[in-house]
Structure 1
Amino acid sequence: MAKKIIFSDKAPAALGPYSQAVLVHNTLYVSGQIALAEAASGDLRAEATQVMENLGYILSEAGMSYANIVKATIFLKNMDDFALINEVYGAYFEQAPPARETVQVAKLPKDVNVEISVIAVND
């Protein structure tokens, strides 16, 4: 199996022993992205936007864009934030959004409010 580690210096470095993303053939597996500074500010819209921007930076390093995303997982600290997260997330997909699930979790790394991971495919 030929795998290539993808790293963008525009997105946060991994907080542990994992890569920002791994490319295998034409499929990119992007680790969950968070937004530390925005989470500390308490502005959930800014936090979600930064998470999506971080994903974009990593996708770009692999020669992909949001249009290449086929699957996303959103982890929320509070499901009451679902509508706001949906609004921010949806703005990144003009048409044919990817498959997705959203789950509420007890706690996220660095006590952020949202984390998003994706799988993207380049035809």
Structure 2
Amino acid sequence: MLTRVIILKRNSRREPNENDSNKSPLQRSACSQGVIVNNMFYSSGQIPLTAEGNLVQGDIQEQALQVFKNLDAVLTAAGASFETVVKATVFIKNMDDFAALNEIYGQFFSSHKPARSCVEVARLPKDALVEIEVIALVK
């Protein structure tokens, strides 16, 4: 699986810059892992793929933990962090898994609680159980 080079070039205009991390898999070749516009980072949805591109098998908590590892990689590459996330959007295959997902979510957003939406969906790429995208301020 090919990965893209991290592009940390930023500009003060409103032109988006791709921001890819080689520590997080590029899940779909048609998109970047995220873009920076001004001082805001917009991630693409992260699913539970390892850096090698393999789907993490297991329950919602095991998959969510990998998603957060991927988010950490792209946030770090962008010059952001979980503490600077202002909005998270969670796509979950089964809303019955919401409480279990929240246990993992709370490990990364304990004192800092960004705005969040959670949507149950019929299917996710590679039949993952969860996908999360974030918007964060760049330091």
- Any stretches of 5+ residues in structure 1 without a counterpart? none
Aligned to 1:32: 45
CA–CA separation in structure 2 for the residues paired with 1:49 and 1:93: 13
Runs of at least 4 residues off by over 6 Å: none
CA deviation digits over 1:42-84, x for unaligned, max 9?
A: 2321110000110010000011110010000000000000001
Structure 1 residue 83 corresponds to structure 2 residue 114: no
Aligned to 2:64: 48
- Any stretches of 5+ residues in structure 2 without a counterpart? 1-13, 50-54
CA–CA separation in structure 1 for the residues paired with 2:101 and 2:27: 23
CA–CA separation in structure 1 for the residues paired with 2:43 and 2:58: 25
Aligned to 1:22: 35
- TM-score under structure 1 length normalisation: 0.93
CA–CA separation in structure 2 for the residues paired with 1:30 and 1:61: 11
Contact 2:78 2:138 in 1 (8 A): no
How many equivalent residue pairs? 121
Identical residues among aligned pairs (%): 48
Structure 1 residue 61 corresponds to structure 2 residue 51: no
Identify the structure with the greater helix proportion: 1
- TM-score under structure 2 length normalisation: 0.82
